[in-house]
Amino acid sequence: MAENSVAKKDNHDALSVPSGRLTRFSKLGSLAGRVAGNMLAEGLSELAKGNRPKLKDLLLTPGNVLRVSEQLAQMRGAAMKVGQLLSMDAGDMLPAELADILARLRSNAHAMPEAELLTLLTQEWGPDWRKRFIQFPLKPIAAASIGQVHKVISDDLKRLAIKIQYPGIRQSIDSDVDNVASLIKMTGLLPSKLNLKPLLAEAKKQLHDEADYPLEGQRLGQYAAVVANDDAFVMPVLDETFSTTNILAMTFLDGSPIESLVSAPQALRDAVISNLMRLFFKELFVFKLVQTDPNFANYLYDHDSGKIVLLDFGATRDYGDTLVSGYRQLMQGACANDQAKIKAAALQIGLLNEAIPATIQQTISDICYLACEPLYSKQPYDFGQTSLATRLQKAGMQIGLEKTYVHTPPADAIFLHRKLGGLFLLAMKIKARVDMRSLFMPYQN
C-alpha cells in the first residue's frame, strides 16, 4: 500500500501524468531552459551590483531548486524515482544543495485528476465497476512516484487498499531515467568520479519491478511465509478479484505512522525496533528474501493489536547463499573483533576487491567494522544517543575523495545496506535501545 515518498494530497494538487516519450523529454528540456534563463537573469543582476557570481550559486537559487523538484514531482514515475534513489544511494557524496533538490522528491507527489482516474478504472474493471463497491472515494489517501492509493469498501463489505498505477509509467521508465540523469549531470554539481551507471541500471530494474503489480502480488504471498506465526507483525493479503496489470488490491490495515512512536513509552519503542531488527535477521539468514525499501511509510503501528503493520513489497529481493554467508561472516567477525574475518567477508560480498590498494582495503574493512557497532556492543545499543550516522558519513566521504577508489559494490549489497540504514535511522528517530548482539546470536552459525 505505501509506496516510496507517499504524500497526502488535496484535490487542487491533482495533475495529469505527462505521457509519451517526446512529451516527457520536452518537459525536461523546457525545465533546463527555464533554469538556464533564471541563471542568466540572476547573473546579470549580480554583475550589475559589481559582483562576480559563481555558477553554482546561480544554479542553486531558491527558485531553481523549487522549479527542478516540482517539475520532476509532476512527471512522477522514473523522473521522480531516479532523484529519490540518487539522494539515498549517493547522498553522502552530493553537495548539500543538490541533495536538497533530490530529497524534496521523497515527499512530493501529485494525484491523478478525477476524470483521468475514472477513465483508467473503466478500462481496467469495465463500465459497471461502481456497482462492485459500497464506497470508493475518488480522492486518494496517498500519492507516490508509481501510483496512488484509495481506501474503499467492496460490495461484500471488505475494506481494501487499491493501488492504481499512473498511465504510461512502465513505458517511460528507461528513457526517463536516462533523461533525468542527463539533466542532473548538466548541473555540473556531481562529483566527477561518481559512477552513475550502476545506480541508473538499478534504478531501471527496481522501477520495472515496482511497476510490475502482478509480481508484487506474488511477493505478498512469498513474504507472508516470513511472518507466519509471528505475533509481532501483520501484513495485507492480496485480493485477486480486483487486481489487474495496473491495479493492486489488498486488504486495508489500520495503523499509525511508525515514527509517531517517538513519544511512546521507552519499553514500547525498544520492543518495536527490536522486532524489526529481528525480522531483518530472519529475512536475510532464514528466508533469504528481503524487503529492501528503507521508507518509514512501509511500517505502521496498530495500537489496538500491538502489532507492526508491514506494507509495500515491490522492492523485495532474493539473496543468494554466497552473499548471505558473507554477511554472516562479516557480523561474526565484527562481534569477535576479527579484522581478518571482516576483510574476507567484505571480499566475498564484493564490498572490495584485491585490485584496490591495501590501504583502501583496510579503510573499507574499518568502515564495515564501524557499521557493525550496534552488533558488537556488550549492552543494548542506545540509538538515541549514538553519533554513528555522522561517523559513517565522514568515513564514506573520505573514501569518495580517494582517486584510486573506483569500485562499485554489487547492487544486492547496496540495497541491503539501504534497508539496514533505514532501520538504523528509524531507531535513531524514535530513540530506541536494542540488544542487537542477542538478536544476532541465533544466526551465528
C-alpha cell at 11: 484535490
Nearest to 300 by CA among 265, 254, 269, 238: 254
3-state secondary structure of 308: strand
User: What is the C-alpha separation between 132 and 244, in angstroms, rounded?
Assistant: 15
What's the one-letter identity of residue 245?
T
Contact 148, 140 (CB under 8 A): yes
3-state DSSP percent of the chain in helix, strand and coil, to 5: 60, 10, 30
3-state secondary structure of 353: coil
Task: Tell me if residue 412 is catalytic.
Answer: no
User: What is the C-alpha separation between 412 and 420, in angstroms, rounded?
Assistant: 12
Spot the catalytic one: 89, 176, 270, 293. 293
Cα 434 → chain centroid: 23
Q: What angle do CA 14, 132, 249 make, to 5 degrees?
A: 60
C-alpha cell at 231: 505475533
φ/ψ of 53, rounded to 5, equals -70, 150
Residues in the chain: 445
User: What is the C-alpha separation between 222 and 218, in angstroms, rounded?
Assistant: 6
Q: How many CB atoms lie within 10 A of CB 432?
A: 25
Residues labelled catalytic: 293
